[in-house]
Amino acid sequence: MLPNFLVIGAQRAGTTTIWHALDRHPDIFMSPTRETAFFSNDHNFNRGPAFYETTFFHEWNGEAACGEKTPEYLLMPYAAARIREVLGETVKLIALVRNPAERAHSGYRHSLMLGCEHLSFREALDAEPERIARNPAALGRFGYQARSRYAPQLARYYDLFPRENILVIFFDDLIANQNAVFDRVYQFLGVAPVPPGTPVEEGKARIGRAQVDPATNTVRFKGRTIRNPSPALLRFAEEYDRAVGMLAPLSPEEVVKINRTRFREDIEALSRLTGRDLGAWLGEKPAVHVRPAPEGLAEPWRG
């Protein structure tokens, strides 16, 4: 069974939360591999659809909806055409978008915690164009702003797929009312809603300090105490703790400033594309009513 729906992104916008909600639905099969990267990775894609099906979906057992989530699909320019080539235009696509400045900062935090980033957030934003120009592969790791420019990414999909097959979810709505968003996703996929359960916590950032105690020769990290740590683990703990110290959250004023100076044009384009009033992202009072959402969305978006 090849998938009949995909969660295509964006990274750090709630895709893991959606994955867990879908995975616990009895009529939905989600690939156990969280991110197959089939359509975004040349090596995987060149192995063909049979590899994709047998590697990631061989456990499918007749569920009505079958899918996977890979946030790179929204980012990578060639992924949309590959998806249409293999799965056809009838495949359903779910895209999540988040306040651009907040998403960029979350992506930066992720890179920092992985030890891939050494610049401050603002330095990283300024350095992004040169980093990617010097090494296009850096788009995936250091494309903090590129990932947050949703309008051109979504436009590629709107050019290739019917609008009714694309569901755009706003992270703000996911935070405000998970169950309402989940029900909307279930309706989109054609499966029955399930009773509201406990909120899905997976995917939320959990950041704590790494405590190194030379007196007892232990490292305490994420609730675990590791005795007699190796030199490599000690170095990791020290670097991790340094990174945590750099993770001051953005203030609401900083979020608005970054959106106005770096993302205004894209925010306005996304608003036109989706029919959603995004004035709040720019620190402007949202309108009470906006034009109807594009065909295929269950109801008009409100500001």
H or E element that contains 224: strand 224-227
Structural domains in the chain plus CATH codes: 5-189 (3.40.50.300), 211-245 (no CATH)
Q: What is the pLDDT of residue 295?
A: 38
H helix count then E strand count, the chain: 15, 8
Tell me the pLDDT band of 162, cut-offs 50, 70 and 90: very high
Q: What is the pLDDT of residue 245?
A: 58
List the beta bridge partners of residue 69: 7
Place of tokens 């996911």: 174
Q: At what angle do helices 15-23 and 178-189 cross, to 10 degrees?
A: 60
The answer to whether 269 and 150 have CB atoms below 8 angstroms apart is: no
Report CA 121 to chain centroid distance, whole Å.
Answer: 19
- Comparing C-alpha atoms, which of 36, 41, 26 is closest to residue 3? 36
What are the C-alpha distances in Å from 70 to residues 25, 50, 147, 241? Answer: 19, 18, 13, 29
pLDDT in tens, 74-133: 999 999 999 999 999 999 999 999 999 999 999 998 888 777 888 889 999 999 999 999
Q: Per the structure block, which two tokens stand in for 136?
A: 């296009």
C-alpha span between 102 and 174 (Å, rounded): 15
Q: What is the pLDDT of residue 296?
A: 37
Residue type present at position 273: L
Beta strand pairing status for 218-221 and 211-213? antiparallel
Place of tokens 């970054």: 258
**What is the arithmetic mean of pLDDT over 128-149?**
96
List the beta bridge partners of residue 225: 220
Q: What is the pLDDT of residue 246?
A: 58
**What is the arithmetic mean of pLDDT over 224-244?**
72
Q: Which of 67-76, 80-89, 226-235, 241-250 has the lowest mean pLDDT?
A: 241-250
pLDDT in tens, 196-216: 776 776 555 555 556 677 778
Q: CB-based contacts of 250: which residues, under 8 Å, 6+ apart?
A: 101, 102, 105, 121, 258
pLDDT in tens, 12-44: 999 999 999 999 999 999 999 999 999 999 999
Residue 268 backbone dihedrals phi, psi, to 5 degrees:
-65, -40
**What is the arithmetic mean of pLDDT over 48-66?**
98
Report whether pLDDT(173) > 90: yes
From first CA to last CA, the distance across the chain in angstroms is 40
| Backbone angle region of 165, left / alpha / beta, with phi > 0 → left and psi within -120 to 50 → alpha | alpha
Q: Residues 132, 34, 64, CA angle at the centre, nearest 5°?
A: 125
